[in-house]
Amino acid sequence: MNKISLYFKESYGELLEKVTWPTWMQLQQSTVIVLVATVIITAMVWIMDFSSNQLLKLVYSLFK
């Protein structure tokens, strides 16, 4: 049981003293970058899905 409590005490101390936390401005900038990248990747996947769907519809219509 001592090992577990020691582990949590050391982890807490490390989080307070050794970890460099971002500033509020850095956090906001990183969030915006992640959101923009998510929108771009989502749009790319949607375009690929839509175009492949249309292509398959065309191919299937040729063999009706």
User: Per-residue pLDDT tens for 8-32?
Assistant: 999 999 999 999 999 999 999 999 9
In a domain, 63, yes or no: yes
Token pair belonging to 53: 């769907």
Residue 6 is assigned to a structural domain of this protein:
no
Residue 62 maps to a domain: yes
CB 22 within 8 A of CB 30: yes
Interacting residues of 30 by C-beta distance below 8 A, sequence separation 6+: 22
Cα-based distances in Å from 3 to 6, 9, 53: 5, 10, 57
Whether residue 33 is contained in a domain is answered as yes
Domain assignment present for residue 58? The answer is yes
Number of domains present in the structure of the chain: 1
Residue 52 lies in a domain: yes
pLDDT digits (tens, 9 = 90+) for 31-60: 999 999 999 999 999 999 999 999 999 999
pTM equals 0.68
Q: Which domain holds residue 63?
A: 22-64
50 within domain boundaries: yes
17 found inside a domain = no
